[in-house]
Structure 1
Amino acid sequence: MPQTTQAAVQSLVDRAIKLGDRQLAADIRAFAQQRQFGLVFEHNRPERMRLYGKKVGRGDVVQVLPERGKKEDAESQLLWLVKSVSGGVAELEPYRTLAYDENDGEPREAALEDVVAVAEYDQPIYAGLRETGRVERGGDKPYQVVINGENYHALETLAFAYAGKVDCIYIDPPYNTGARDWKYNNDYVGGDDAYRHSKWLAFMERRLKLAKQLLNPQDSVLIVTIDEKEYARLELLLESVFPNATGIQTVSITINKNGVARGNQFKRADEYAIFCFIGDAAPCQVDRKLYSVEFGELEEKVAADESGSRSQRKVRWEWLLRGGPNAARTARPNLFYPIYIDEKTATIRELGESLSLEQDWTKFPEKPGLRAIWPIRTDGREATWRISQGALQAKLDRGCAKVGEYNKKSDRYSLLYLGDSQEERLKNGEIKLVGKAEDGSLLLEEQGERSAIPTTVWSGTQFSAGEYGSRYIKRFIGERHFTFPKSLYATELSLASVIADKPDALVVDFFSGSGTTAHAVMRLNHQDGGRRRSISITNNEVSEDEAKKLTKRGLRQGDPEWEALGICQYVTKPRVTAAITGKTPDGDPIKGDYKFTDEFPMADGFEENAVFYDLTYQDPDAVELGVAFEEIAPLLWLRAGSHGLVIEREAAGYEVADAYGVLFDFAAINGFAEAAKAAGVGCAYVVTDDTARYASVKAQLPGVDVVRLYENYLQSFKIAAEDAVR
């Protein structure tokens, strides 16, 4: 891809720095800033964000909410400075700066319950997370994370935990169609707004700049879906924000083959996914037969393809342990039996008899030299194996069953077998037999001709937004309303096209809506046994119509009745939970099967974990003094990999969990270092304002990511705010 003019300027700056002439580099930058290349729009329109839930104090900038039962108006958009707070009342005076002089009112008082703190995008905020629930079915796998909060501030928060660590960002932002589908400064943007495009571009640019901080500069991809209203401007904006991207390509996806009427225009049948490749990132090979993709002509995988080694798909072996709500021992007692393995050779040696429901498996006698593996879930529930002893023995004889990985922490073995469909593919040559392992199991690999790099036009029934978006989501959350969800399979293929070869990928979606991205990530994990993580950020807004109804009832944002109907609480959390458990919010098994690839009952759910958070706003002084640890704690856990236990509260001396540790008192350094090494933690936090003490901890823990609290936390938010205006 040829360099943009802006990229060429940056190249000159880089060359000047390499030559040691920093003055020349500064002169080139100064000249470039006097010119506007490519996309031109109004950058300096302010974006103000209400900090619902933040405790209002002296010095805060606030807005006064309308009386209950009345809608927002010009008066409620005025800014006020809090002079003092006493007895539940805030004393306010008009807030005026060089950039803002709209409030010409007189000083006034307002009840604290009627005021809400406000921050402009370039003002540093200090955020934390408060857990609101979790679902656990994935053992020691990392958690899928859902954050309810304003996405700009949530991105600033993630910069502390994940700067430069994210493999893929997938977003489906508001399309700016003029249909009042998004807000700017707490007001919907209509089609008659003369600054509609500039507001949208400024809104997007600020978030993309923060997203850029998260992406791995060596190898990552940003995916943005959009329709024809803004795609041309969006491509130019991406070129501006990511001048060093190695490639930007647009894929057309047919989401409604019949088209949607657009007045006196052509019917719209497709939308676009723009892929922005960074560093060494490149499209992955995808299995076209499994996806049933109607790509047309595809770029076939050939032996000479240099990217082939990074894109080969593994042959999938199934978990022998049955999952889902129909997996209980009581449902199929004949499939509850012991499997005896030899731990020294990691082989299956014998298959035991089925136990009746009355028999207690814990009292069943062991066999000398062997270990009995029972179909017990990670949470202790009794389940069943997927196939009978006879069928399993036949697969063992063919080399199509084996012992999987051993989890040292949980002291559990996984047992795997090759499904009938995979054996059929082996027979017809779609899977190649390359040998046998020491345990007698088959060594297999996919035949190359099954894989291909997609073209830039995707057309197939699985991409239908109606069939596999709007109607699909009802299977999981019933009649709870959500407009325009993406097709699960369109999102899944978008992600697979760039992270199929990254089983531990970290994916972020900061316009997550109903949670389709998290759902797709879990589907990919199910297909290849991956441990990919997703972080889904959504707010808890209600629709415009719902807001009018709630306002008439005298309710406001923040009230429990209002929040219960917001996107995150009403749609995202229930959808992610249902996908994992296989049950609707009413407790009924989800009807139907997944299609196109990896077909299995939706009621089986996923062997995954998920945790849900609300974004909170912290006082930086309280953070620095260490009295806000409980809401900073989840960020420490996220940075350490989001798996295992969370250190929720301060402890005397230190605390060590599965993946990280926190040293609260430097006097306990020796014990902390020993405990951290014994646990094999990858991250350590040190609460100290002494540089020498911090360096001492780093020296004792080589190879460990040692982070200084609370300086690193506070500095992260300051940097994020500064980068927003660059």
Structure 2
Amino acid sequence: MSRLTDLIARAKARDSALGEELEREFKALASRRAFGLNFERHRPESVELPGRPVRRGDKVRVLPPRGSTQRGDPRLWRVTRIDGDGEARVAQVALIDADTSEVAEVAVADLVVVAEFRDFIYPGLVSTGGVTRGGDKPFHTVINGENFHVLEALTYTHRGKIDAIYIDPPYNTGARDWKYNNDYVEGEDLYRHSKWLAMMERRLSVAKELLNPNDSVLIVTIDEKEYLRLGLLLEQILPEAQIEMITSVISAKGVARFGQFSRVEEFIFFVRIGESTVQLGEQNMLDESRSATAQIGKSIDWLGLRRREPTAKRGARPNQFYPIFVDTETGFIRDIGEPITDEVDRMRVEVPKGTVAVWPLRPNGGEGLWGITPETAKRYLKDGYIRSRNYKPEIKQASIHYLPGGTVSAIQDGQIDVVGRDPDGAVQAIYRERKGVIPKRVWNMASHNAENGGSLILSKLLPDRRFPFPKSLYAVEDALRFFVADKPNAIILDFFAGSGTTAHAVMRLNRQDGGRRQCISVTNNEVAADEQAALLKAGLRPGDPDWEKWGICDYITKPRIAAAITGETPEGEGIKGNYKFTDEFPMAEGFEENAEFFTLTYESHVAVGANYAFQRIAPLLWMRAGSEGHRIDELPTQGWEVADTYGLLVDLDRAGTFCEAMAARDGVRVAYVVTDDDRRFQAVARALPEGVEPVRLYESYLSNFRFSMGR
């Protein structure tokens, strides 16, 4: 290692850029795991930005001539100078990372700006339309842009705020279904698996920063080509999470493959963060043998008190390793002991006369944890919510059961009737109202059929428009319901939004319970591979309006969400057919929801800091404040303005009036203060109403993207 370090130091002395690149690769190799998932990270990803004006200092590629279907020059150039005006502008460019220097003069119209993922970005948003039918409800947002960069933009607006992420990433079939560095990854590419992993790792690492660390879920669908690698990747990126994979039947008729089993399923990873748990459902998802409605009048279920997850070992939760003293005559619980520290031998704990100490021992004899604290256990013992059964004197063991918190709350709320008590005081109770059932890990629901719930619904919303393999609307709805049913204000993110099914599913959930959940949908405007050749032959390029109108965001995602809300097709006709299953109603009714569409932009940090890019930063400020109500799109002429959920102060001499206006408005959450003077900013912050978050512009924005992205 020291020899390599010396060689890298010598390389840096000769060529600092080359030396830094070698050092970065060396650190990546040195940090590799001896066991687990190892893969090549390859070159940092890059994305072309058609339509972005070419500026001096930009990285660019030279495009092929119009009308050509040949691939353009893959090399990167740096713009050193621009001469001329209008369409006659010419750029002088210098080759980047070349063994020998090379310069050229190229028409600016034949250049496309390139952003590499190792570069800092300063994002903005430009509105491209929207739909408003939801009154004061928060807006769903659709963002057209490279999803890695949009995720980075969301670290400023939604870091730690996302309740659920649902993504359906490319399955890496080898059938030109995704690109890496602007090239389709073909089936014969020897590195296609590691390229896919590198692509996913970068995005999941940023997405992790967006999830609520206390209670959130990441849901990822995949098929057999990458599910093993994806599972390992999720474990490495989110080692503290609880990960389960379920099998979902998406087409009972199957896909016949000679010499192989017929594929009928795909897989869904559920990655639970913090205290996130799977909520009960109406059905067990495998069959209809047990529905929640049928539980009315049945006895409550008792659960084993010992925690079952592999990480539930003594020491993981200091207060949850304690003795439960069971009477040797009756086999009932007499008392709850105190927790002991890791260094105390449990066999030395004093046991009250006539009792035996029952500990949370794992099947292999190892020391585990109880599922509740001793204080809760004592309270439950008094109220009859914990019990001991099947006491075995010969081994001094008993089964300890308890009622989970939801059942206890239901008893206290009167949803469950206590009809008696056992000899030890444990409650006997029955369900008076509907109670859900625990879902199984294999789903076989007619509503999850990808053809009927996906392609057929999309064809009704967007007649004559096709999108390959849309998810079943009802499958996405069910997956989310297990985690956001009790969160009416949940924020859901889908950064592989495709046709927009996730946002559509969130609208259905809102309609069912009057919720105000919002969905952030992220997709690029990539044109399908089989359509690009014809457009290129016609002399079109990415960025041209007649090219972009066929892209996935403009042609499918935005129209689909607009159609779902309005109940009308893009042609203005009422959508035919009805929604089915959980909530049945005519599709033409639409939804009482709001949605706004944006395109990601790339700003200069100098322009941002000088207050010249406010119009493109404004949507980010609005989103950070909740994506609700009026948005401040222009710098206020009076020096300040207060919208529905946030305020903006530009002239600090008007701070007193601004703070008074903030105090007079209900529902404001954030105060943006434009100043370079931290002392004056702190003075304004102290004068703001309690509960309002003060944010200093543009320091908070610039520092987020300059220092927080782990470059």
Rounded to whole Å, the distance in 1 between the matches of 2:189 and 2:195 is 9
- 1:613-646: CA deviation from partner (whole Å, max 9, x where unpaired): 1111111110000011001100000000001100
Aligned-partner SS, 1:591: coil
Partner of 1:654: 640
Aligned equivalents of 1:221 and 1:477: distance in 2? 31
Find the aligned partners of 1:298 and 1:31 in 2 and give their Cα distance. 52
**Within the alignment, does 1:674 sit opposite 2:660 as a pair?**
yes
Query: Which segment drifts farther, 255-264 or 527-536?
Result: 255-264
Question: Which residue is 1:257 aligned to?
Answer: 252
So what's the TM-score if we normalise by structure 2?
0.75
**1:279–1:90 CA distance, 2 compared to 1 (3 A):** farther
- For residues 240 and 123 of structure 2, the distance between their equivalents in structure 1, rounded to whole angstroms, comes to 31
State the alpha-carbon separation in 1 of the partners of residues 433 and 50 from structure 2.
53
Conserved? CA contact 1:654–1:668, under 8 Å: yes
Aligned to 2:672: 685
Counterpart position of 2:283: 288
Cα distance between partner residues in 1 of 2:433 and 2:30: 48
DSSP-derived class of the 1:571 partner: helix
2:685 counterpart (687, 698, 701): 698
Q: Is the 8 A contact 1:654 1:664 kept in 2?
A: yes
Determine the C-alpha separation between the residues in 1 that align with 2:183 and 2:288. Answer: 41
Q: Which amino acid aligns with 1:717?
A: F
CA deviation digits over 1:194-228, x for unaligned, max 9?
11001000000000011011001111100000000
In structure 1, what is the Cα distance between the partners aligned to 2:290 and 2:595? 39
Displacement of 1:127 in angstroms is: 1.0
C-alpha separation in 2, matches of 1:475 and 1:227: 27
- Is 1:81 aligned to residue 58 of structure 2? no
Correspondence for 1:605: 590
Q: Does the aligned pair in 2 maintain the 1:463–1:490 contact within 8 Å? A: yes
Deviation at 1:306, TM superposition (A): 11
2:300/2:431 contact within 8 Å kept: no
Q: Which runs of 5+ in 1 are unaligned?
A: 1-28, 308-430, 435-444
Q: 1:238 to 1:298 in 2, by over 3 A?
A: farther
Q: Residue type of the partner of 2:133? A: R
Aligned to 1:505: 490
Deviation at 1:304, TM superposition (A): 5.1
For the 8 Å contact 1:295–1:454, the answer to whether it is kept is no
- Per the alignment, residue 717 of structure 1 pairs with 705
Distance 1:195 1:293 in 2: 37
d(CA) in 1 for partners of 2:126 and 2:562? 18
After the TM superposition, which of the residue ranges 297-306 and 132-141 deviates more from structure 2?
Answer: 297-306
Residue equivalent to 1:189: 185
Aligned mate of 1:238, from 213, 217, 234 = 234
SS at match of 2:530: helix
2:312 aligns with none
Q: Which residue of 2 aligns with 1:118?
A: 114
Tell me which residue corresponds to 1:128. Answer: 124
Deviates more, 1:712-721 or 1:568-577: 712-721
Corresponding position: 1:453 with 2:438: yes
SS in 2 for 1:211: helix
Query: Secondary structure of 1:721's partner?
Result: coil
Structure 1 CA distance, aligned partners of 2:600 and 2:431? 44
Distance 2:300 2:130 in 1: 45
Residue type matched to 2:678 in 1? Answer: T
Q: Which residue of 1 aligns with 2:379?
A: none
- 1:708, 1:211 → 2: CA distance? 24
AA paired with 1:596? F
State the distance in 1 between where 2:572 and 2:286 align: 34
> What corresponds to 1:531 in structure 2?
516
* Structure 2 unaligned spans of 5+: 1-26, 306-413, 418-429
1:216 aligns with one of 190, 212, 217: 212
Of 453, 460, 464 in structure 1, the residue corresponding to residue 449 of structure 2 is 464
Contact 2:80 2:94 in 1 (8 A): no
| Counterparts in 2 of 1:601 and 1:35: CA distance versus 1, 3 Å | closer
Distance 2:201 2:154 in 1: 17
Q: CA deviation at 1:451?
A: 0.8
Task: Note the aligned Cα RMSD (angstroms).
Answer: 2.4
Q: Name 2:91's counterpart in structure 1.
A: 91
Report deviation, 1:57: 1.3
Q: Is the 8 A contact 1:169 1:508 kept in 2?
A: yes
Q: Give the Cα separation in 2 of the matches to 1:462 and 1:495.
A: 15
In the aligned structure 2, how far is the partner of 1:43 from the partner of 1:257?
A: 38
Q: Secondary structure at the match of 1:108?
A: strand
Q: 1:241 & 1:298 partners in 2: Cα distance?
A: 36
Would you say the 8 A contact 1:121–1:721 is kept in 2? Answer: no
The 1:212/1:118 distance shift into structure 2, 3 A limit, reads: same
How big is each residue's C-alpha offset from its partner over 1:647-680, in whole Å with a ceiling of 9 and x where there is no partner? 0100131011111000011111000000011113
- Give the deviation of 1:134 after TM superposition: 1.0
Change (3 A) 1:699 1:303: farther
Specify the SS of the correspondent of 1:451.
coil
Contact map agreement 2:214 2:275 (CA 8 A) in 1: yes
- Residue 612 of structure 2 corresponds to 627
Q: Give the letter for the 2:108 counterpart.
A: L
Q: Give 1:161's aligned residue.
A: 157
SS at match of 1:216: coil
Q: Distance in 1 between matches of 2:674 and 2:448?
A: 50
Structure of larger gyration radius: 2
Range with bigger deviation, 257-266 or 233-242: 257-266
Please give the TM-score of this superposition, normalised by the length of structure 1: 0.73
TM-superposed CA distance for 1:262, in Å, is: 3.2
Q: Quick check: 1:80–1:92 contact (8 Å CA) kept in 2? A: no
Asked if residue 707 in structure 1 is aligned to residue 707 in structure 2, the reply is no
Q: Deviations over 1:8-64 (max 9, x none)?
A: xxxxxxxxxxxxxxxxxxxxx999936443101002432111123322211111111
2:59 maps to 61
Q: Secondary structure at the match of 1:282?
A: coil
Q: Which residue of 1 aligns with 2:650?
A: 664
Using a 3 Å threshold, how does the CA distance of structure 1 residues 542 and 32 change in structure 2: closer, same or farther?
Answer: closer
457, 469, 479: which one aligns with 1:484: 469
Secondary structure (helix, strand or coil) at the match of 2:217 reads strand
Distance (Å, rounded) in 1 between the aligned partners of 2:282 and 2:183: 45
The alpha-carbon distance between structure 1 residues 468 and 664, as it changes in their structure 2 partners (threshold 3 A), is same
TM-superposed deviation, 1:96: 3.0
Are the counterparts in 2 of residues 663 and 687 from structure 1 also a CA contact under 8 Å?
A: yes
* 2:272 counterpart letter in structure 1: F
Question: Could you say if the C-alpha distance between residues 624 and 192 of structure 1 is closer, same or farther in structure 2, counting changes exceeding 3 Å?
Answer: same
| Letter of the 1:669 counterpart | A
Per-residue CA distance 1:206-258 (angstroms, 9 max, x = gap) = 0001101100111110000000000000000001111111x100011100101
Report the Cα distance in structure 2 between the residues aligned to 1:119 and 1:263, rounded to whole angstroms.
44
